[in-house]
């Protein structure tokens, strides 16, 4: 009996120690199934004793149409949540830290650009509102949970790169250099308008220069891509 109990304890310890590794593999396969992009995750940490989820070194790669080139390099996603609110099917995040190291915009040999192929919408000229974004609405639809707010959202953004697979002479890099930009009580897109303005200011004409004026297209809304 003692040996059986000891074996059970050892098995539980092994399961707990391997849980993060299992989650990492599951997440990589899920991202691939939903987006068609290969994913690599350095580490996933799911707090069993504290309400915390952490993803370190998440890398997404473009599909074969864009040569399997890098797309996103997210250094950290750190989320702390309200456990009591979660029990009542409400998503209340006390802290979110999002660190985007690099975003690579790739134009393939057929003249298609990956960021436009994702269907990213265009920024509207209407005043910002606090309504739920499509991503939040989709989360609520899939999980049945109501999004309440993010008490503190901390965002860092490194660099944007443009890669032309047909003409590498057009390649360029734009340093954004936003470190620990903190927003409080975030409930909708209107609450991150300051971040949107700062990104636009530091990116200059990086996005608008990617669009052929004759095509009638407009620059993508980066916030819809990231959030």
Dist. CA 154–CA 183, nearest whole Å: 7
In DSSP notation, 154-206 reads EEEEEEEEEEESS-GGG-EEEEEEEEEEEEEEE-SGGGGHHHHHHHHHHHTTT
pLDDT in tens, 161-194: 999 999 999 899 999 999 999 999 998 888 888 9
Tell me the whole-structure pTM to 2 decimals. Answer: 0.79
Contacts of 62 (CB under 8 A, 6+ apart): 37, 68, 69, 70, 71, 104, 106, 114
pLDDT in tens, 37-73: 899 999 888 876 788 889 999 999 998 889 899 999 9
pLDDT in tens, 82-107: 989 888 888 899 999 999 999 999 99
């Amino acid at each position: 009996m003692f040996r059986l109990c000891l074996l059970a304890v050892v098995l539980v310890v092994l399961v707990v120690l391997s849980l993060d590794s299992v989650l990492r593999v599951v997440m990589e396969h899920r991202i691939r199934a939903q987006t068609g992009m290969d994913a690599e995750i350095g580490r996933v940490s799911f707090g069993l004793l504290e309400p915390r989820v952490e993803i370190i070194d998440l890398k997404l790669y473009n599909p074969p149409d864009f040569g399997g080139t890098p797309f996103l390099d997210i250094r950290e996603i750190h989320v702390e949540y309200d456990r009591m609110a979660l029990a009542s099917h409400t998503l209340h995040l006390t802290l979110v830290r999002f660190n985007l190291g690099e975003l690579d915009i790739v134009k393939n040999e057929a003249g298609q650009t990956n960021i436009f192929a994702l269907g990213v919408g265009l920024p509207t000229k209407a005043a910002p509102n606090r309504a739920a974004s499509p991503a939040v609405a989709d989360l609520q639809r899939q999980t049945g949970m109501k999004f309440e707010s993010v008490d503190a959202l901390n965002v860092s953004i490194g660099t944007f790169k443009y890669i032309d697979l047909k003409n590498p002479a057009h390649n360029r890099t734009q340093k954004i250099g936003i470190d620990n930009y903190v927003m409080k009580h975030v409930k909708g897109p209107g609450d991150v308008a300051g971040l949107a303005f700062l990104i636009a200011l530091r990116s200059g004409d990086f996005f608008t220069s990617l669009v052929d004026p004759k095509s009638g297209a407009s620059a993508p809304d980066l916030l819809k891509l990231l959030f």
